[in-house]
Each structure stands twice: as C-alpha cells, then as structure tokens.
Amino acid sequence: MIDHDWFSVRQLAEKTYAISEWGHWEKVHSFLLIGQDKAALIDTGLGIATIKEVTDQLTDLPICVLTSHVHTDHIGSHAAFDDIYVHAADEAWLKNGIQGRTLEQIRFDLTRDLTSDLPAYFDLEGFVPFMGEASGLLRDGQLLDLGQRLVEIIHTPGHSPGHVAFLDHQTQFLFTGDVLYTQTPVYAFYPSTSPEDLVTSWEKLSRLPKIAKVFGSHNQLGIEPSILDEAGRAAAFLRQHELVHWGSGLHEFGQLSVKF
C-alpha cells in the first residue's frame, strides 16, 4: 500500500507501476519501470505534489527521468531528480520555458475543475514550471538498459516537436504520452504542434508488432493494442480527406479523437 494524499498507485506488472493524479481534470499518469540496476520514471506529473514521495516508497534504486515531452503536466516534479532525459527537439523548452503559455494560464489550468482537494501544502502563487538542464538527450531507436530490462525510445512528434513514446521490452507495454490516448481529444491545434507530424506518428505506432497494452498519459489507464490499428486507419482517413492541417477541427474515430 502506498501512502499519499494526492497520488494513486496501480501495479501494472512486475516492477511496473502507474502513478496517477485522478483528482485533476487531466487525469495525469506517470509510470515507473524498475530494472535490476536502476529505474526509469516516465514523466513526473503536474507538480501539485512531489512524485518522489511515491517513488521512494516503490524503489531505492537510482531513478532516471524519461520525459515524454516538455509540457507542464509532465515535468512538475523534475526538480526532485538529478538524472533527467529529453528529446533534443524539446530540450530548449526544458531549459528556457515552454512556448505559448503564460504563467497565469498555466496556474489557472493547474487548479481548475478538480475532483479532489489540493494538498494543504501546495502553494499556487509560488508555482513555477520546472526549467533546467537535461542530463542527456533521447533519440529515436535508442535502447536504455535498466539492468535486465530494455526500454526503447520512439520519436513521436506532433503534440510537441520532441515528443517520444516508450516501449518496454520486458512487458511489451507501449507508453504513448500525449500522442495517443482515449476519452478526450489528442491536441494538435496549438502553434507549437504539428498535425502532419502527429498523423505520421500515428502511422509509425500502428506498425509496431506484438504490443501487449497501450498506456497513454491521460484518462483511461490501459488500452487494448487494437487502438494502434484504429490510429492507422484514422491517419489514412485524415490524409485521404485532406484534413491534416490546423483549423480542420475535431475528428472522431471510435474511441480515438483528435483536434487540429
């Protein structure tokens, strides 16, 4: 049992955990993969509470943070860790700040439409998104060895230039960040997004073999791998009907939707 007043933890497989913030309207998930020598933490959540308070209860191994992309809801506890990795195309955002969002907008979105009480210690007026140097850069096709456990990096731009997904070779779980999830639209309508890149990323993911389960970073926790076929069909439809551009609106395909 994990003791925390903000995060919930669910074990997905042996030494594999989802750390969720269900009380926030975005329903954010981070993921901890534990190897023999070290652990990988995929994203660090909103920053309303420090996720290290949870990971310290799950492992005493060194933890490297794998950043799916540099948006506020994925880098909230980065400051609590020393070993942080990001794709080169998002590195400048990590170092200098996220493009296109004011601090006032970020603070407003952080605490609106909550279904759980904020922790008493959370200071909204003092909240500032993490900015700092990366320990290293992630690249497409790279294999990270956690010790008897390999994690593959898959560059999946569109939602951000440096967005990456992660394939855990031990479980065949695919962690898709914000490029693929269900229940609310995937977003690619901001100036910093690319509809063309997002559709290309869906096509890329749809070709991956032998995926056991898909885990997006929001909403439903655990999606059947058939969502990847659905993403491939959606990409083909969007291209055929010349809808892959900003302003074409909301497009729905069964359990998958996207807004350009």
pLDDT tens for 77-86 read 999 999 999 9
Q: To the nearest whole number, what is the mean pLDDT of the chain?
A: 96
CATH fourth-level superfamily of 8-259: Ribonuclease Z/Hydroxyacylglutathione hydrolase-like (3.60.15.10)
Q: What is the pLDDT of residues 154-167, one digit of tens each?
A: 999 999 999 999 99
Contact (CB, 8 A) for 55 and 39: yes
The pair of three-digit structure tokens given for residue 18, joined into one six-digit string: 């989802």
- Whole-prediction pTM: 0.97
Q: How confident is the model at residue 223 (pLDDT cuts 50, 70, 90)?
A: very high
- Say whether pLDDT at 219 is over 80: yes
Mean pLDDT of 114-140: 95
Model confidence at 1: pLDDT above 80: no
Q: How far apart are CA 70 and CA 80, in angstroms?
A: 16
DSSP state string for 5-73: SS-EEEEEETTEEEEEETTSTT-EEEEEEE-SS-EEEE----SSS-THHHHHHH--S-EEEE-S---GG
How are the residues of the chain apportioned to helix, strand and coil, as percentages rounded to the nearest 5? Answer: 20, 25, 50
Tell me if 187 sits within 8 A of 219, measured CB to CB: no
User: Which residues, listed in sequence order, are joined to residue 143 by a DSSP beta bridge?
Assistant: 152
